[in-house]
């Protein structure tokens, strides 16, 4: 039994060695075609805040804003850039939760904020908050998933909020949702807690634990009704599945609980999700993204052979090729295959590899556990208490959003 389990673990690495840290505290693209061919796009049109309510301001997408069709933006390197990065400061974004404010929580080094993701074959467009808000005019954008996805949502809010004056922006908490409203644009950036995407007993926004998982592999309607009509949907789900190679779930009858192999369960859940998309999404007006798994850095021997720690006290990205065993390629393949079979286009943003390099960017001991900042004693014991799953902000999720932004610009003609 012992050896069976350890063999098994080579395939599915349990990604929560001790506890689940992530007690959730909930606490158009009316893109007017620019009319210029991209070769002429040095012609720059100044766009500003919307005036007089419904005035639509054209968005000019410059050629340097468009990533090349052939460019794989997910391959590249992190380059030191303390001139342009971070894109916002922790203390200037009032919407960050304590879980991500590493600097405020006592993190002594700050290099982790100054890295820019540089694709090998092209440049990412410079993130322009006003351009993004104009793309979102009269639209809703929603991030759906677990606490990692919440980090990406917060990053997006921080990336745009500074250009909106006081009194014209707000954040509402309506569990299991968070809704950021950019009033003048009639635009919202939203977050929806659904750690398995499909329904589960972990759907309560704050009262949930990864130790007791029970997933309804064929149920999604209760979530889905909140996603209906959303213009841009960004899904993510991984880490909650990986706690254990087997998972309790129902399929068919809600009373027939069985232990499922995680790979099988994940596949069934994605089928349920795919069916929901096919009967609820209008691909002409709605756009769907799926974020690949966010890597963890729980075992330092993976990048520093012979050591026996985790991401704590790591200040620099990994140089050279690296892929941690926590990022399960079988799950990646299941996701890939599910998206291939879908009748509508879902864009997968494969951010796993670029994030793999960032062993330095996790919250480590400068975050929360069960909704509370770590105590001094807990901080002194990083082996048990470092969180090598979540990310500091500003940080890696900002790069994910720069890529998401690049894809939105690239696709903007497809929106109406
Ligand atoms: C930026 O980084 C360079 C190179 O490491 C360093 O010399 C410089 O002092 C840094 N500037 C700031 C403002 O931190
Ligand atoms: C605001 O946006 C919503 C879609 O998110 C749309 O249904 C509504 O008509 C818009 N309101 C105005 C005044 O344009
Ligand atoms: C959390 O949920 C469990 C099981 O559903 C319930 O027994 C418990 O009372 C809840 N705790 C709080 C604080 O609501
Ligand atoms: C499934 O549920 C049963 C009963 O609660 C429990 O004994 C078992 O450990 C669970 N299996 C997993 C993989 O969590
Ligand atoms: C779980 O599923 C995977 C993929 O189908 C398979 O390789 C593995 O042997 C299964 N494990 C168990 C214990 O059934
Ligand atoms: C962190 O690492 C540095 C060397 O990189 C070392 O000097 C320092 O003692 C470490 N700090 C702790 C608390 O382990
Ligand atoms: C995502 O990127 C990784 C690393 O480059 C690669 O191994 C994997 O196959 C990619 N996944 C998909 C679905 O393309």
Q: Where are the domains of the chain?
A: 63-415
| 348 CA: nearest ligand 7 atom | 13
**DSSP characters over 120-146:** SSS-PPPP-HHHHHHHTTT-EEEEEES
Cα 279 to the chain's mean position, in Å? 25
| Ligand 5 center to 326 CA (angstroms) | 17
Given this model, what pLDDT does residue 64 score? 78
What's the distance, CA 264 to chain centroid? 24
Distance, in Å, from the CA atom of 102 to the CA atom of 97, rounded to the nearest integer, reads 10
- Say what the pLDDT of residue 167 is: 96
Alpha helices in 228-314 (DSSP H): 262-280
- Site to probe by mutation for ligand 5, drawn from 262, 263, 270 as the one with most ligand atoms within 8 Å of Cβ, is 263
What's the gap in Å between 247 CA and the centre of ligand 5? Answer: 12
- Measured from the Cα of 350, ligand 7's closest atom is 1
Residues with CB under 6 A from ligand 4: 244, 246-248, 259
Q: How remote is the CA of residue 237 from the centroid of ligand 3, in Å?
A: 23
Q: φ and ψ at 149, to 5 degrees?
A: -70, -30
Length of the chain: 416
Residue 289 Cα to ligand 2 midpoint, Å, equals: 22
Q: Ligand 3 mean position to 206 CA, how many Å?
A: 10
Q: Whose CA is nearest to atom 1 of ligand 7?
A: 350
Rounded to 5°, the CA angle 369-370-376 comes to 40
Q: How far apart are CA 152 and CA 405, in angstroms?
A: 12
HSE at residue 380, side-chain half, CA atoms within 13 A, is 3
Torsion on CA atoms 182, 220, 326, 96, rounded to nearest 10: 20
Query: Could you identify the atom of ligand 5 that is nearest to the CA of residue 246?
Result: 13
Which atom of ligand 4 is found nearest the CA of 244?
13
* 3-class DSSP state of 97: coil
Q: How many other C-beta atoms lie within 10 A of the C-beta of residue 170?
A: 13
Locate 122 and state its tokens.
């092209």
CA distance 16 to 45: 50
Residue 373 is classified by DSSP as E
Give the CA distances from residue 415 to residues 186, 288, 410, in Å, rounded to whole numbers and listed in that order: 17, 12, 11
The pLDDT value recorded for residue 48 is 44
Q: Digits of tens for pLDDT over the chain (416 positions)?
A: 222 233 233 344 455 443 333 333 332 222 222 222 232 222 223 344 444 444 455 677 777 788 888 899 999 999 999 999 999 999 999 999 999 999 999 999 999 999 999 999 999 999 999 999 999 999 999 999 999 999 999 999 999 999 999 999 999 999 999 999 999 999 999 999 999 999 999 999 888 887 889 999 999 999 999 999 999 999 999 999 998 999 999 999 999 999 999 999 999 999 999 999 999 999 999 999 999 999 999 999 999 999 999 999 999 999 999 999 999 999 999 999 999 999 999 999 999 999 999 999 999 999 988 788 999 999 999 999 999 999 999 999 999 999 999 999 988 754 43
Q: What is the pLDDT of residue 40?
A: 26
d(C-alpha 283, C-alpha 346), whole Å: 9
**259 CB neighbour count, 10 Å cutoff:** 11
- Ligand 5, residues at Cβ distance < 6 Å: 261, 263-264
pTM of whole model > 0.95? no
Q: Which residue of the set 22, 34, 134, 147 is catalytic?
A: 147
Looking at residue 6, what is its pLDDT? 30
Q: What is the pLDDT of residue 32?
A: 25
């Amino acid at each position: 039994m012992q050896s069976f389990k350890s063999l098994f673990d080579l395939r599915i690495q349990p990604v929560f060695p001790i506890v689940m840290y992530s007690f959730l505290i909930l606490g158009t693209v009316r893109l007017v075609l620019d009319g210029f061919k991209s070769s002429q796009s040095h012609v720059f049109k100044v766009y500003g805040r919307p005036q007089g309510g419904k005035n639509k301001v054209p968005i000019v997408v410059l050629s340097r804003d468009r990533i090349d069709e052939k460019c794989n933006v997910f391959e590249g390197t992190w380059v030191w850039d303390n001139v342009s990065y971070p894109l916002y400061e922790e203390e200037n974004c009032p919407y960050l939760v304590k879980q991500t404010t590493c600097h405020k929580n006592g993190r002594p080094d700050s290099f982790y904020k100054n890295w820019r993701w540089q694709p090998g074959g092209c440049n990412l467009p410079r993130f322009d908050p006003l351009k993004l808000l104009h793309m979102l005019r009269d639209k809703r954008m929603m991030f759906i998933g677990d606490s990692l996805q919440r980090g990406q949502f917060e990053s997006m809010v921080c990336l745009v909020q500074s250009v909106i004056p006081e009194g014209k922006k707000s954040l509402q908490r309506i569990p299991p949702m968070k809704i950021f409203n950019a009033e003048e644009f009639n635009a919202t950036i939203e977050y929806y807690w659904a750690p398995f995407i499909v329904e589960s007993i972990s759907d309560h926004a704050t009262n949930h634990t990864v130790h007791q998982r029970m997933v309804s592999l064929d149920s999604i309607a209760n979530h889905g009704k909140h996603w209906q009509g959303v213009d841009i949907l960004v899904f993510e789900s991984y880490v909650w599945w990986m706690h254990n190679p087997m998972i309790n779930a129902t399929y068919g009858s809600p009373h027939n609980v069985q232990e499922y192999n995680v790979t099988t369960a994940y596949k069934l859940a994605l089928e349920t999700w795919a069916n929901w998309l096919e009967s609820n999404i209008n691909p002409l007006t709605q756009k769907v993204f799926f974020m690949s798994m966010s890597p963890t850095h729980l075992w330092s021997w993976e990048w520093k052979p012979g050591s026996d720690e985790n991401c704590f006290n790591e200040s620099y990205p990994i140089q050279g090729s690296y892929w941690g065993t926590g990022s399960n390629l079988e799950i990646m393949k299941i996701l890939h295959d599910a998206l291939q079979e879908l009748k509508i286009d879902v864009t997968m943003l494969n951010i796993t590899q670029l994030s793999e390099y960032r062993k330095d960017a996790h919250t480590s001991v400068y975050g929360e556990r069960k909704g509370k900042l770590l105590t001094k004693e807990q901080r002194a014991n990083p082996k048990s208490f470092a969180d090598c799953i979540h990310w500091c902000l500003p940080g890696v999720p900002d790069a994910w959003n720069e890529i998401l932004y690049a894809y939105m610009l690239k696709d903007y003609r497809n929106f109406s």
